[in-house]
Amino acid sequence: MISERKVLQKLGCVLVLLAMTALALAQPEGMKTYYFVLLLKGTHRDQDQATAERIQAGHLANIERLHGEGKLDLAGPFLDDGEWRGLFILNVESEEQARALLATDPAISSGRLRYQIHPWLGKKGASLR
């Protein structure tokens, strides 16, 4: 039978390991995890002009809404007409939340755009100059 002392020693070791793991996973002071979203050309870009314009208007309205809610810190298109169409920096707590927000974008739900999500560590509250 294991003595109470040995159980307490083992429990102490487990607690130390858990504390060390938590410290290792903690973000550096002043830093925050954001979600960098790369917007790419989608597989369904053959809409007529009126439909494409309506989708784009919805896309821009969605960007404004997300920014107003404090969930989108940065957004914009790339200007070279390549495969990469634009980017978002989402200010949410998880990739699942990021995916849920992206599902509300008409350009994504219509297939005009697709995306890649990358967790990104940045200085909390940083801005462009």
Comparing 61 with 14, which gets the higher pLDDT?
61
Task: Establish if 12 belongs to a structural domain.
Answer: no
Q: Is residue 25 part of a domain?
A: no
DSSP structure class, residue 26: S
Q: For residue 100, is it within any domain?
A: yes
Residue 21 resides in a domain:
no
Q: What is the domain count for the chain? A: 1
In this predicted model, what pLDDT tens digit does every residue of 48-85 receive, in sequence order?
999 999 999 999 999 999 999 999 999 999 999 899 99
Domain annotation covers residue 14 = no
CA torsion sign, 48 to 54 to 57 to 59?
negative
Residue at 5 is within a domain:
no
How far from 95 is each of 6, 39, 78, 112, 120, CA to CA, in Å?
Answer: 41, 15, 23, 21, 11
Is residue 37 within 8 A of residue 115, CB to CB? The reply is yes
- In-domain check, residue 10: no
Residue 55's domain spans which residues? Answer: 31-123
**Is the pLDDT confidence value at 24 over 80?**
no
Give the domain CATH number at 52.
Answer: 3.30.70.1060
Residue 21 pLDDT: 54
Q: Would you state the pLDDT for residue 18?
A: 58
63 in a structural domain: yes
pLDDT of residue 20: 55
